[in-house]
Each structure stands twice: as C-alpha cells, then as structure tokens.
Amino acid sequence: MIRLENISKTYQTDKVETLALKDINLHVKKGEFVSIMGPSGCGKSTLLNLIGLLDRPGTGAISVDGAAVKSYRDKDVAKLRNQAFGFIFQSFHLINDLRVIDNVELPLLYRPVSASERRRMAREALEKVGLGARMEHYPNQLSGGQQQRVAIARAMVGRPKILLADEPTGNLDSQMGGEVMDQLLKLNQDGTTIVMVTHDEREARRGSHVIRVFDGQLVA
Amino acid sequence: MFRNYLVTAYKVYTRRKLFTAINLLCITLTLMVLLVVTALLQNAFFPSGVEGKSDRLLQVTTMASVGNNGGTNRTSPLGYKVIEKYLKPLKSVQLVAAVTGPKTVSVYQDDRVTELLLRRADAQYWQILDFKVLLGRVPSADDVARGRFVAVLNQSTARKLFPDGKAVGKALNVGGQQFAIIGVVQDELQLNAYSDIWAPVTTDPSTEYRNQMWGEFTALLLARNSADLPRIQAEVAQVATQVQFDDPKEWDQAFLWADSKLDFFARGLMNNERVPESGAGTMLLIIAVMMLLFMVLPALNLVNLNTGRIMERSSEIGVRKAFGARSSQLVTQFVVENMLLSLLGGLLGLIGAKGVLLWLEGSGLVPYLKVDINFAVFLCGLVLTLVFGLLSGVIPAWKMSRLDPVLALKGAA
C-alpha cells in the first residue's frame, strides 16, 4: 500500500544541518495497523509527515498503491492527500469557528461532492464515532476525547486508503485515550490501514506491527 | 464550499470585533471619499437633469487660431459670428444654440446693489437645455428676434431679490438695463446652465458682438440621435478649415472641435486645442491611477492587518492543506473573506458618500450643487470595492497559502 525506499531527510537551520531520517525502508501493507515508537526527537513525526506527503524527502522514493510519487507540486500532492490519507493530530486541530458537522465535512470540500451528499457522509461518520447528537456543537463545547473522535470522523469521512495518527491519545487522559484507541482498532478491523505514532508501549502493542525509530533510523 | 467560507469569515470577523471595526472603518472611509469624487466626476462628465440630452449634445467652446507668422496663437471662446456663419448652417445638427458664459453684473434694486451672474442666450438654448420652469416662462424665439428686455431668474436669485415670492412681472435693473422678469427656473450647476439671470442675446448693449470672431460664446449642438455625433464632429472639424478671418494677413488657421462634456474637460486639461483627439482616454487613465494610488496606502495597512489575522489561523491552514486544499483554494477562501468585508465597507461607504453629498448640497459650499448617486456611480463603487478588496486581500492570502503544512500545523509559521 505504502512503500518508502531509502528515504533520508535533513533539516537546514542557519549553519546547522540536522539529519532527521536516514535510509528508511518501510512497507505498510493494506489492512495493517503499524505503530511507530521511539524517543522524542527521533524522527517519528517526520516519518509520518513524509508518508502523508505533508513533507518531501531529501532522497529516496515513496509510492502509494504502487504508484511512485513523482511530483510534489502543490496541485498534485493536494489531490493525493485528499484521496489517499486521513490525518489525526495530537492536538486535534479542529477549526473552532466551525460546528462539529462542518469540521467533519472539511475533506469533502475539496472534492466534487454535492452539499447534501457531504452532509450525509459527515453525519454518518459522526454517528460511527458515537457523536451523532453533537453535530451542531462547536469543538470547544466538547471534551478532549470527544474532540479527538470528531477528528477521527473527519479523517475517515472521505474513506481514505490510510489513516495517519500522530500521538492521537497524547493529550487525553487514560480513559479518553482508551476510547480513542478502541475507535481506531474498530476502524482497522473494518479494513482501514492505520499508521500511528505513539509513546505508549501498551497502545503500540494493540496494533499489528510495531516499528521503532532511533536517531532517524529504523531499529526494529 | 462557499457556505463554509462565509461561516468561517463571519466567525473570524465577529471574534475580533475591534480589529474588524478598524478594518471596516479604513475601507469605508477610503471608498466613501472615492465615491464622492466619482459622483462629482460623473455629474460633470455625463450630466443628467438640465443637460439630460447629453448623450446627443456637443459643444464648441473655444476657437484656437494660428497666426500667419506661426508665432501668434489665440485660443478663446467663440465670437457670435462664428456660430452664426459656420455652425448654425451645419447639416447634420438638429439645433444649434449660442450662449455666453456667465458674466458678473450689478443688479440694482431699491437701494441695494447685488453682484449676480448673467448669461445671454438665443431661443434655441431654451430648447436644448431642459430647465425646470417653476414660474412664468422662458424667452421665446419672438422675444429674442425682437430684442425684448425680458429676463429669467433662477430660484435662489428670485428668492433673494423678491422674498415675497412674486418675481414674475417685476422689473429689474441689470447693469443699467431695465428687464421685465418673465420666469423663474430651478437652480442648476451644470456647465452650460449655471447662472443667476438669463436674457436674450439680442439685449446686449452693443450689436458689435455679431461681428466678432472671438467673444464669450459657446455653441451647443444638438444631434437628432447619438449616432450622428461622429458625423457632426467631423463636419465641425471640416468647417473650421473654411473659417475666413477678418484679418487674413494676421490669421491663417482655425481649429474648432465639437466635444462631449467629457471631451470638453479633457481637451482643456490636456491642452489639446489643436488636435482632434481630446485626450479623454488619457485623462480617465490619470484619474483611475490617482484613485488607485489613493487606495494603495489604506490597502497596504490592511495587508498588514490581514497578514496578522491570517497568521493566527496557521493551524487551520495546515489542516486544510493536510486534507487536500490547494494553495489556490486557500487564496480564494481568504480573498472571499476579505471581499465580504470590503463589500460591507463599500455599502457603508456608499451610504456615507450619499450623506456627504447631501451635506455638500445643503451647505452652500458649492452653489446649486445637485449630485445623485446613480446606477453608474453605484457600479463604479462596486468596481472600486472589488479592486480594493483584491488589493488588500490577495497579497496576504497568497503569502499564507504557501505556508509549509508541517510548520503551519505546529503554529510556527
């Protein structure tokens, strides 16, 4: 499904060049739940951003569904991100000015989908995460766990090929974190491929694979 | 998608009320000033009301003459002889009127002396211009032909000289000549209609005006329809080549141009007395550039404010990009948001401009001023608003749409 070959990434800041990732080779198969673990600053999030085409590698190649990503032009990556990926962030990144239902509709705004169809799909996604009754609320009227469930609904509404979650339980207490993990596992059981960055060994082990990053390299 | 943009815009603007108010004030004041200027220009270039036939009205205001030795030039208003001999016989024209420019005269009444403006006109003048007659009548062809000492006053003058409201039928001493007032017309500010008193051209104290090549007259040329205007203009230019000076040894060449109101102003400002092209295009371009420059400073201020406002939304930009928004879509979103505020500012500017114009009319700062915000001014206001919205919105939108999504999500943009 997703293949990374010989990926390296360096960051240039003033006179310092920092190597974030080195010679990464990774293959995420359809239906897998891959957990990426490692200490802070080891390159986990950079790896996730590269998979999700939010960032471009220094060297190496990425392919999605067998097709190599040849162009990182705005127009091309925007389309791929929209159709192939769904993102879940540690700090939710919901738009507080929009209602829950409007937040969930967001990925569909960038597709040729009618307003009524968007609304129907967003409602369905919210019902799946148990927030059918909170559609008209604003994000800041919800608890942290509920907000992350809205973020999951937003990530899933466009039926992406792969769900990328960057420490989805990092800002939640254990009970809410557990609820979010349950949602992710349920989605995975329904066939969604998931790549998740986490610090939590217990959560990582609930997935099908655990890969470890240390100093920018895969170690297991 | 548009609804999403509108909702976001509404929320963003209501979240920071002071900021939005400053933004709105900036837009409103800029557009208000520009709309007042536009309305005044529109009123001058494309008049309505008394000069309502302006779409088929031309005027020949000056004659530029070149001397035989090449060094002597003279550009001055027309003499009556030029109108009588060369312009009245024009074939393509329906009517030709001769009218003097407004000239200050002393009006003696009881023991008062009042300085007022007097025009002397022929009978066609009253047929070409649509004066609103409030009392009595205007001079007839017979009045003019017989040189009757009859006069018409405008409303303000009638009120000033005859506070009892009974001006018609009264006598008035104008510059030593005794006139009978036969009518009162509405106050007008338009170029060819502006005056306090009107009298027949034949009441001039001397008949010398009939023999003058240069004088104080303007010729008004009314076409049968607006399609005839180019033909009339060509005919006037042609007739100018046939002008015979009283002193052909001294004067050789004459230039006459039949101009619309816009062309008249342009020709004067651009100093194009000897070429057919009035320079109206250049003048309009200069006005447009000046308006644009007037908008630039407040627009730059708004660019700064808008950049700050969008910066606060870097997380939203990151999310939208992550979920597939192209930079161009984000530019559209932010420009639409800015355009909405600009349109609101434009609407308030329009209301403000109407208020300023009403105040100007009522204050007497510009006597007899009557300016309305018509559809053309409204349309111009809309264009100005859109230009202003684009000027102040595109740069920050373009800048922010190019944010790196990873940095935007971190809020580190």
Contact A157, A105 (CB under 8 A): yes
- B269, part of any domain: no
Interface A–B counts its CB contacts (< 8 A) at 70
* Higher-confidence position of B251 and B309: B251
* Residues B163 and B233 occupy one common structural domain: yes
Mean pLDDT value across chain B = 89
C-alpha to C-alpha distance for A151 and B117, rounded to whole angstroms: 78
* Residues A58 and A3 occupy one common structural domain: yes
* Residues B286 and B249 occupy one common structural domain: no
Cβ–Cβ of B15/A106 closer than 8 Å? Answer: no
- B237, part of any domain: yes
* Residues B23 and B79 occupy one common structural domain: no
Query: At B124, is the pLDDT very low, low, confident or very high (cuts 50, 70, 90)?
Result: very high
* Residues A218 and A109 occupy one common structural domain: no
Q: What is the pLDDT of residue A139?
A: 94
Residue B145 near chain A (CB below 8 Å): no
Q: What is the pLDDT of residue B46?
A: 85
Instruction: Give the type of residue at B413.
Output: A
Sorted by sequence, the CB contacts under 8 Å of residue B248 that are 6+ apart come out as none
CATH of the domain at A19: 3.40.50.300
* Residues B288 and B397 occupy one common structural domain: yes
Q: Select from B30, B97, B36, B80 the least CA-distant residue to B346.
A: B30
Cβ–Cβ of A109/B4 closer than 8 Å? Answer: yes
* Residues A8 and A58 occupy one common structural domain: yes
Mean pLDDT along residues B262-281: 89
* Residues B24 and B163 occupy one common structural domain: no
Q: What is the pLDDT of residue B197?
A: 96
Residue B319 near chain A (CB below 8 Å): yes
Q: DSSP state, B228?
A: G
Q: What is the pLDDT of residue B150?
A: 96
Closest Cα in chain B, distance from residue A106 (Å): 7
- A144, part of any domain: yes
Q: What is the pLDDT of residues A10-56, one digit of tens each?
A: 988 777 888 889 999 999 999 999 999 999 888 888 999 999 999 98
C-alpha to C-alpha distance for B407 and B413, rounded to whole angstroms: 5
Sorted by sequence, the CB contacts under 8 Å of residue B271 that are 6+ apart come out as none
Query: At B74, is the pLDDT very low, low, confident or very high (cuts 50, 70, 90)?
Result: confident
* Residues B43 and B67 occupy one common structural domain: no
* Residues B92 and B241 occupy one common structural domain: yes
* Residues A118 and A60 occupy one common structural domain: no
Mean pLDDT value across chain A = 90
Task: Specify the range with the lowest mean pLDDT, choosing from A161-165, B204-208, B350-354, B373-377.
Answer: B373-377
Task: Specify the range with the lowest mean pLDDT, choosing from A148-157, B48-57, B142-151.
Answer: B48-57
Residue B373 near chain A (CB below 8 Å): no
Q: What is the pLDDT of residues A127-169, one digit of tens each?
A: 988 899 999 999 999 998 899 999 999 999 998 989 999 988 8
pTM higher than the cut 0.90: no
- A216, part of any domain: yes
Residue A49 near chain B (CB below 8 Å): yes
- B141, part of any domain: yes
A:62-121 residues touching chain B, CB 8 A cutoff: 74-75, 78-79, 81-83, 85, 87, 89, 93, 95, 97-98, 102, 105-107, 109-111, 115
Phi, psi values for residue A206, rounded to 5°: -75, -15
Q: Provide the residue range defining the domain that includes A135.
A: 95-159
| For residue B412, pLDDT beyond 60 | no
* Residues A26 and A1 occupy one common structural domain: yes
* Residues B226 and B369 occupy one common structural domain: no
Residue B357 token pair: 């114009």
| For residue A85, pLDDT beyond 90 | yes
Residue B6 near chain A (CB below 8 Å): no
Q: What is the pLDDT of residue B70?
A: 66
- A72, part of any domain: no
Contacts of A95 in chain B (CB under 8 A): 8, 316, 319
Residue B326 near chain A (CB below 8 Å): yes
Q: Quick one: closest CA in B to A112, which residue?
A: B1
Residue B324 has its nearest CB partner, among A97, A105, A110, at A110
Number of domains in chain A: 2
Q: Provide the residue range defining the domain that includes B136.
A: 62-258
Q: Quick one: closest CA in A to B327, which residue?
A: A74
Number of domains in chain B: 2
Q: What is the pLDDT of residues B239-248, one digit of tens each?
A: 999 888 888 8
- A45, part of any domain: yes
Mean pLDDT along residues B303-328: 87
* Residues A173 and A150 occupy one common structural domain: no
Mean pLDDT along residues B286-292: 91
CB atoms closer than 10 angstroms to residue B4:
18
- B276, part of any domain: no
Mean pLDDT along residues B74-92: 92
Cβ–Cβ of A98/B11 closer than 8 Å? Answer: yes
Cβ–Cβ of A75/B322 closer than 8 Å? Answer: no
